[in-house]
Amino acid sequence: MSSESSLFSHRWLPALLLAPLLLLIVLFFYVPVFQAFYWSFFLEQPFGGGSEFVGLQNFQRVLSDAEFWAATGRTVIFMLTASALAVVVPLMLAIAADRKIGMSYPARNILVWPKGIAGASIGVVFAFIFNPFVGLMGPLNALFPGLWNPGIDGTDAFITLVAAHVWSGIPFNFVILLAGLRSIPPTMYQAAAMDGAGPWRRIFDVQLPLIMPQLFLTFVLEFTESITSVFALIDTITGGGPGGSTTLLVYKIYVDGFRGFDLSGASTQTAILMVFVLLLAACQFYFLGRRINYER
Amino acid sequence: MVENARSINIAASILLAIGILYIVGPLYLTLSTASQSYEYMLRNGLAWVPGTELFANMGKVIHDTRIPIQMLNSMIVAFSNALATCILSFLSAYAIVYFRIRWAGVAFALILATIMLPLDIRVITTYQVASNIFSPLNAVLDFTGLNSLIEMMFGAPIQLELSVLDTHFGLIAPLVAHGTGTFLFRQFFLTLPKDLFKAARMDGAGPLRFLIDILLPLARTSFASLFVLTFLSGWTQYLWPLVGASTPDMQTAVVGLARLVPDADGQVPDFPMIMAGAVLVSLVPLTMIALLQRFLVQGLVLSEK
């Protein structure tokens, strides 16, 4: 046996070790992904009623549906507003918590708590807190009727969704960004201070440039996250309403597929959403990744 | 470094105070409302001060709803998800890093790609697969013509059928089919010194002995981090348990909590009772965060390095 070989050689053991996870991944990831694309070319009858190849008809139907475009538009708006806030708010908090001040210790502990609260749970809570009659805005609504009503006003409902999404997203982004800030060597600050950069100035000239990798990562993950995890919030806070004003794509797919039994339509939209998510990630890597300096 | 940083420290303190208020505020209002009576809530809206009805409201949740058994389901799902993810990811990362296999890169790419498309996006077709986990096999047999051959020889084609909907396995398996754990362990293995492996080989350790006696003890912290992370993720899942289980007794607590809110408008729902349910459902994961926060933070950082 040669001692310089730095790897095991074995015929079937590695395959055996990988088999369970790969089997689950093929079954519950690749097959569903493939099937979504496959079904988007077929007209599927619910409950195994057979299927018929229809070429691009499903895409034609979905793409000419005004509801689909409206849901896509709302998804993009939500993605831009909610994920921007869900990164910028934790970023400010992380910069603040990185300073050696009394508040930063409780903050580092408490800001992680939302990680343990399910999106649907906080959805139920926010639905109550923002309830127009018994919630936070109840007294104000009594004084100025119609000031706040997420049940009627789509914008109010949308704001509630964004607030809940940012709340849920704080722990992950905060932890990642704080870890990035803490890995900046103190000599960097000292050098900047010698050059006359005060603490405010150093935020923009030292801290932000040096945590670009973490910032980039949180944006990439947050975009996907805001598209998918919003389902729990929509289902518990607004139910897609009022008047469909908070029906985002992920919710529309669920309603079309599980309530309307339109498997072909839902699969086609799933396929489109998947391509969208993958393209988004690819674009971000291509455009943002190139401009980031990973050197320390 | 001594410098005058008063203005920024004051600003930072105010910012952190607002942040803490934003996080704790809804939690406090949940708890205080959960401790008031329905009549109090009808009169005053949400409660700013805690009352005395917390245990009465929790009792209502425990006796009148399916939340207790659903919490048991959540426990089973979260725990099994965490355990299965830890074990399977550990084994697959081990195979990828420590074995001379030509397809290691392909296997890792296949596993890692799962991070790109979350379960919530592919829920429609995952549901179809779960309703008959042999459907891919049947399709392959049909497609390759093997089934017509079998039909000629035995008189009937193979059409296996097994639904995992409404089972704990069905709730758990799609969650385990995820690449984060493998990624985390692979990163950890790559940080270990190469000499460790050589020394073990020289002492005559085979693949299994190296795995159990050397890697396993070293990876304890990574295990703990991944366990906490996947436990919380399993507990807080919503869309998959919502469609993967149709009977109340198989649903998870988070789904059950969402179902406590009546769909129809009209009477004001019993918010104190619902908030008491929210408290109950969040108790386990929050306790876990309080006790194992170190591992959670580490897991979050490691999983994305």
Asked if the structure places residue B153 within a domain, the reply is: no
Q: How many domains does chain B divide into?
A: 2
Q: Name the superfamily (CATH) of residues A58-290.
A: MetI-like (1.10.3720.10)
Is there a contact between A134 and B41 if contact means CB atoms under 8 Å apart?
yes
- Measured between alpha carbons, how far is A120 from A115 in angstroms, rounded to an integer? 12
- Same structural domain, B256 and B203: yes
Which has the higher per-residue pLDDT, A46 or A198?
Answer: A198
Give which of A213, A226, A225, A191 is closest to A285, Cα–Cα. Answer: A213
Give which of B305, B272, B287, B214 is closest to B32, Cα–Cα. Answer: B272
pLDDT band, residue A20 (cuts 50/70/90): very high
CA angle B145, B148, B149 (to 5 degrees): 90
Give which of B253, B123, B26, B60 is closest to A118, Cα–Cα. Answer: B253
Each residue's pLDDT tens digit, A158-187: 888 999 999 998 988 898 888 888 888 888
- Same structural domain, B13 and B106: no
Each residue's pLDDT tens digit, B37-74: 888 887 777 878 888 888 888 888 888 888 889 999 99
Asked if the structure places residue B154 within a domain, the reply is: no
Which residues in chain B are contacts of A176 at CB distance < 8 A? Answer: 300-301, 304
What average pLDDT does the segment A141-146 reach?
A: 75
Asked if the structure places residue B132 within a domain, the reply is: no
Min Cα–Cα distance to chain A from B149, Å: 22
- Same structural domain, B46 and B97: no
- Same structural domain, B107 and B198: yes
Query: At residue B154, does pLDDT exceed 90?
Result: no
Which has the higher per-residue pLDDT, A102 or A151?
Answer: A102
Domain end point (choices B40, B60, B80): B60
Asked if the structure places residue B138 within a domain, the reply is: no
- Same structural domain, B176 and B40: no
Which has the higher per-residue pLDDT, B271 or B84?
Answer: B84
Highest-confidence range of A96-100, A272-276, B85-89, by mean pLDDT?
B85-89
- Same structural domain, B185 and B267: yes
Each residue's pLDDT tens digit, A194-212: 888 888 888 888 888 888 8
Which pLDDT belongs to residue B197?
85
Contact A149/B at CB under 8 A: no
Interface test with A, best of B121, B140, B259, B267 (most A CBs within 10 A): B121
- Same structural domain, B9 and B113: no
| A39-98 residues touching B, CB cutoff 8 A | 39, 89, 92-93, 95-97
Asked if the structure places residue B142 within a domain, the reply is: no
Which residues in chain B are contacts of A222 at CB distance < 8 A? Answer: none
CB atoms within 10 A of CB B292: 18
- Same structural domain, B172 and B270: yes
CA angle B40, B45, B47 (to 5 degrees): 70
Which pLDDT belongs to residue B85?
94
CATH code, domain with B87: 1.10.3720.10
Domain end point (choices B16, B40, B60): B60
CB atoms within 10 A of CB A244: 16
Contact indicator for A150, A238 with CB cutoff of 8 Å: yes
Q: What is the DSSP string of A57-106?
A: HHHHHHHT-HHHHHHHHHHHHHHHHHHHHHHHHHHHHHHHHTS--TTHHH
CB atoms within 10 A of CB A117: 28
3-state SS assignment for residue B99:
strand
Q: How far apart are the first and last CA of chain A?
A: 42
Contact indicator for A20, B89 with CB cutoff of 8 Å: no
Which residues in chain B are contacts of A198 at CB distance < 8 A? Answer: 3, 5
Average pLDDT score over chain B: 86
Residue B54 token pair = 């917390």
- Same structural domain, B15 and B89: no
The letter for the amino acid at B16 is L
Is there a contact between A17 and B92 if contact means CB atoms under 8 Å apart?
yes
- Locate tokens 């806030």: which residue? A85
Check residue A53 and give left, alpha or beta (phi > 0: left; psi -120 to 50: alpha).
beta
- Same structural domain, B217 and B262: yes
Which pLDDT belongs to residue A288?
62
Interface test with B, best of A115, A133, A160 (most B CBs within 10 A): A115
Range of the domain at B12: 1-60
Q: How far apart are the first and last CA of chain B?
A: 30
Contact A22/B at CB under 8 A: yes
pLDDT band, residue A30 (cuts 50/70/90): very high
Give which of B58, B57, B34, B60 is closest to B46, Cα–Cα. Answer: B34
With residue A42 as reference, give the H or E element that holds it.
Answer: strand A42-44
pLDDT band, residue B78 (cuts 50/70/90): very high
CA angle A143, A146, A151 (to 5 degrees): 130
Min Cα–Cα distance to chain B from A103, Å: 6
Asked if the structure places residue B270 within a domain, the reply is: yes
Query: At residue A89, does pLDDT exceed 90?
Result: yes
- Same structural domain, B49 and B80: no
